A and B are shown apart, each in its own frame.
Chain A
Amino acid sequence: MTWEPVIGVEVHVELSTRSKMFCGCAVDFTSPPNTNVCPVCLGLPGALPVPNRRAIEHLMSIGLALGSEVSSRSVFHRKNYFYADLPKNYQISQYDVPVCRGGHLDITVDGETRRIGIERAHMEEDTGKSTHVGLGGRIHAASATLLDFNRSGVPLVEIVSRPDIHSASDARVFAQELRGLVLELGVSDARLEEGSLRFDANVSIRPAGSTGLGTKVEIKNMNSFRSLERAVDHEVSRQIGVAESGGELVQETRHWDEEAGVTHPMRTKEGSSDYRYFTEPDLVPMTFDDAWISSVAATLPELPAQRRSRYQEVGLDGRQAATLAESPPRIRQVFDEATGLGADPTAAFNWLSGEVVSHLRRAGLESEELHLGGAELFELVTIVEEGLVSATAAKEVLEGVLTGEGGPREVASSRDLIQVSDATRIGEVVDAVLTANPDAVAGYRDRGEEKVVGFLVGQVMRQTQGKADPRVVNELLREKLASQPGGTPATG
């Protein structure tokens, strides 16, 4: 039997607001432990939360970018569980009335676009950070736990996909796409190594072709794209193994062990789903009116998907559009400026994705350090079209431009790369070559030797140091060969 994995991904995104979700402490992970703390984020007796409006606007941006509906009214809930790094022993989160509902995110894999539904996106606060020290640093053998509350109360958005994903690699691409989106929105640093992006996944399997849902297993503790893909992959295989050996899958929460590359069940207590949610009585319901929603919507930048379709509209193909849409902002800016001035989009794209990118790589430069403006790219494309320089010479021109020698025309001329297309001058060289190679001329004229033409073109190019326009050379040669004494070449 073949099995189809059914996967839903939950992504936690730490927002990069200046202050925390419910207090004025700085969001800054470079400070020494427990320095960005106050009574509120330490959960001291009597302290009360006050919501960070900016963080809520960031969540609205994410929702709007995902095409979610922003609720007109939303409430915070308390999610109760005891854990040393959770100061109040409840997390202020959202339950049945999240800020954002619905929406979708398109992912493109091998040129094929798939739409992944979004269930919800909600606001919550992050926990502190536990470091277990002692015997081997493993959770179960820890002899001491160090707590740092700098992260406690940092605004956290949880985005939950619908179970629309059917492979581990799609789960990874979804997460990557989401990362691109929050970066684009400027709402998060999305630094995986700092844990500002974390993933959980809900995985089940079903016989291919069926539409039912199998027993769902939640896997936790993935903090890189690679571990997300590996964990899902492993879990799918494990479930198939259980199913095919006649075993019974149980609904549970499993922990991903990055080192061992396996998932194992969490203790029932840890995985317990009875969080005793109830409305957070220290906060009042949030209300979102149209004016607020549209003012946030007005600040949204162009998103990768919107860019992709815009690039396709100007004439790039799907793959080119996707590549460019994901290129760094500086590259896209040069493209937009050049095509705005009238450069051929495909030519502009080819330059940028080929020579320009490899130049940056060779020179070890960031795209922001690129020494090429839109006007210069337009000029480069134009002089190639005009035949002022050959395609080969144009690469040299670009190199000169990139190293600061000047504009394309300037470089072409200073590096002596301007192509000779003046028929009179080329004609003189052709005549000289024909005179110098009577055997070749005879071979063409008397025996119809086509290869002779190539040889003669090569001679002309050599004499002109490659600057003659090959099209013009070709044309003139054929013309002049045809009019050589002896008449038309023999045929047949």
Chain B
Amino acid sequence: MTPDGPTIVEAGRRLREGKTTAVALLESVLDVAQLTEAIVHAYLTIDREGAFASAAFADEELANGRDRGPLHGVPVALKDNMCTRGVETTAASQILGGYLPPYDATVVTRLRQAGAVIVGKTNLDEFAMGSSTENSAYGPTFNPWDVSRVPGGSSGGSAAAVAIGSALGALGSDTGGSIRQPAALTGLVGLKPTYGTVSRYGLIAFASSLDQIGPLTRTVEDAAVLLEAVWGHDPLDATSYDGAYPDPRAEMGRGVDGIRVGVVRELSGEGYEPEVETATANMVDRLAGEGAEVVEVSLPSFEIALSAYYLIAPAEASANLARFDGIRFGLRIPGPTTEALMSATRAEGFGPEVTRRILLGTYGLSAGYYEAFYGQAQKVRAAIRADLARVYTDVDVLVSPTSPTVAFEAGARVADPLAMYLSDICTIPSNLAGDPAVSVPIALDGRGLPIGFQVMAPALGETTLFRVAAEVERLAGFTARPVIDLVAS
């Protein structure tokens, strides 16, 4: 099958024209899920009951003239690391099997206020640690474009759901590329907003200083719709930005004439698939053709960003994941002492990649190693920020491939963590800097697999980011959809 569902914007138009209802939209995405879940496994939980109640309520409100805006009645999915009151939330870990949060994450509250219908919770790499959604304790997600391949990760479930049409849009979280890389590998738009603009309250933390929630959608405009619904200052998140927010739509459609575009030299070369490089170069040429001032820029600190990331993120994770101890919630493996109970629960509850990162992080923070590891990584982080501040005096945005490769075969990198870590080489710098970045699909490679193009901007530069992303989208004219063989597999 080929999904034929509408975009968020189209769905909103049809709803208001009376051509569909929220319930009908929900039924159609659930039909897609019914057909595809056995093959793709995008969802961990589908909340049929809750979703139908919201959809019916949305229809009733619209009938009564109450319109909550562009997400009203639109079925969306949530990565399963965002807490939903009374709906199982696992972060794809055994340690949270059956866990029912007593509260909604701020983004969930805001989606509900915007009238969105939450279909369910999507699969991810356990605690968002991974780049393929193979590290899920509940089984991997597969790429709708080729079900022998991974959808990327860690927001692979959200990406697969939107790509296949079992949701019209989804929220993911991006710590080192976990929204943008799966978006690239599944032919979607994936946005990591400026750090602090979307509340992290209720997001099960991986690395607090890097985590950021953002949308995965079919179009740039849909991304703006989802972003506008969830971002904004939240008093429950002390790192939440409380100044003036940029308008993502202010310059959409104005083209790129006069926009200064920096092509990052360090994000190319060895390890990059030729077709990815060619597609990227073609898009850069077309941007230049539209009047963009293209320059090549060098950010030497990007070369060591990956190493810094793999010290900082595990360090923060080692503390963030300490609360999963079997005492107050989730899995509990009994033991003769409290200490034994905690150890047994954690040994049983965490998967191998999570365990690896906790150990890495604990080691990096330990006395005698702190300066060489965590301390040094913070210096690299500062260097990246300084490097970026320098280039952003000369350019408005930076561009690169989103991922060095297209979707890879399932299992190909499971045994080789380093190869897996390299999947995020292009996306990590924006997380370390706290800057916004977006992946836009631009082409299919020879095997019919999507290629993503990354646009990065300085903090709070969403206006320019969306302007350039919209132009990339227009120039690429990417309208392909995956084809799923429902009989095979």
Residues of A whose CB lies within 8 Å of any CB of B are 39, 42-51, 78, 80, 82, 84, 87-90, 145, 147, 273-274, 276-278, 281-284
Selected contact of B325 from candidates A49, A82, A276, A281, CB within 8 Å? A82
Q: Is the CB of B238 within 8 A of A278?
A: no
Q: What class of interface size applies to chain B in its complex with A?
A: 35 or more
Give the complex CA separation of A282 and B329 in angstroms: 22
Q: Is the interface of A mostly helix, strand, loop or mixed?
A: loop
Q: Is the CB of B328 within 8 A of A44?
A: yes
New A-B pairs, 14, CB < 8 Å, besides A47-B201, A276-B365: A44-B103, A45-B96, A46-B81, A46-B204, A82-B325, A84-B325, A84-B342, A87-B327, A88-B319, A89-B319, A145-B338, A147-B327, A276-B370, A284-B239
Q: Is the CB of B367 within 8 A of A283?
A: no
Over the window 260-296 of chain B, the binary record of Cβ atoms lying under 8 Å from chain A Cβ atoms (1 yes, 0 no) is 0000000000000000000000000000000000000
Q: Is the CB of B89 within 8 A of A45?
A: yes
Over the window 217-245 of chain B, the binary record of Cβ atoms lying under 8 Å from chain A Cβ atoms (1 yes, 0 no) is 00000000000000000011111000000
Selected contact of A49 from candidates B96, B238, B327, CB within 8 Å? B238
Give the complex CA separation of A86 and B339 in angstroms: 13
**4 tightest CB-CB pairs across the interface, nearest first?**
A89-B322, A281-B208, A281-B209, A276-B365
Q: Is there a chain A Cβ closer than 8 Å to B83's Cβ?
A: yes
Question: With A82-B342, A276-B366, A282-B208 in contact, do A45 and B323 touch (Cβ < 8 Å)?
Answer: yes
A37 to nearest B CB, angstroms? Answer: 10
Q: Is the CB of A84 within 8 A of B238?
A: no
Q: B residues within 8 A CB of A44? A: 101-103, 323, 328-329
Give the complex CA separation of A45 and B202 in angstroms: 7
B463 to nearest A CB, angstroms? Answer: 24
B209 to nearest A CB, angstroms? Answer: 4
Count: A-B pairs, CB below 8 Å: 104
Q: Is the CB of B101 within 8 A of A50?
A: no
Q: A residues within 8 A CB of B322? A: 80, 82, 88-90
Q: A residues within 8 A CB of B316? A: 278, 281
Which residues in window 374-408 of B have CB below 8 A to A? 374
Q: Is the CB of A80 within 8 A of B238?
A: no
Question: With A46-B201, A82-B322 in contact, do A282 and B328 touch (Cβ < 8 Å)?
Answer: no
Q: Is the CB of B204 within 8 A of A89?
A: no
Q: Is the CB of A43 within 8 A of B328?
A: yes
Q: Is the CB of A87 within 8 A of B83?
A: no
Q: Is there a chain A Cβ closer than 8 Å to B82's Cβ?
A: yes
Q: Is the CB of A46 within 8 A of B323?
A: no
Q: Is the CB of A80 within 8 A of B208?
A: no
Give the complex CA separation of A281 and B99 in angstroms: 25
Q: Is the CB of B201 within 8 A of A48?
A: yes
Selected contact of A274 from candidates B81, B102, B201, B367, CB within 8 Å? B367
Give the complex CA separation of A42 and B366 in angstroms: 26
A86 to nearest B CB, angstroms? Answer: 9
Q: Is there a chain A Cβ closer than 8 Å to B116's Cβ?
A: no
Q: Is the CB of B205 within 8 A of A46?
A: yes
Q: B residues within 8 A CB of A278? A: 315-316, 319, 365, 370, 374
Selected contact of B101 from candidates A46, A80, A145, A284, CB within 8 Å? A46
Q: A residues within 8 A CB of B236? A: 48, 50
B61 to nearest A CB, angstroms? Answer: 28
Q: A residues within 8 A CB of B83? A: 45-46
Q: Is the CB of A45 within 8 A of B91?
A: yes
Q: B residues within 8 A CB of A284? A: 238-239
B91 to nearest A CB, angstroms? Answer: 7
Q: Is the CB of B96 within 8 A of A50?
A: no
Closest to B203 in A: A46
Which of A84, A87, A145 is most buried by chain B, counting CB atoms within 10 A of its CB? Answer: A84
Question: With A39-B103, A43-B323, A89-B322 in contact, do A283 and B238 touch (Cβ < 8 Å)?
Answer: yes
B36 to nearest A CB, angstroms? Answer: 29
Which residues in window 315-364 of B have CB below 8 A to A? 315-316, 318-319, 322-325, 327-329, 338-339, 342, 362
Q: A residues within 8 A CB of B201? A: 46-48
Give the complex CA separation of A145 and B326 in angstroms: 14
Give the complex CA separation of A66 and B223 in angstroms: 54
Give the complex CA separation of A325 and B131 in angstroms: 67
Give the complex CA separation of A90 and B203 in angstroms: 18
13 contacts between A and B (CB under 8 A): A39-B102, A44-B328, A45-B205, A46-B201, A51-B238, A82-B322, A88-B319, A88-B323, A90-B322, A145-B338, A147-B327, A281-B208, A282-B239
Question: With A82-B322, A84-B338 in contact, do A50 and B102 touch (Cβ < 8 Å)?
Answer: no
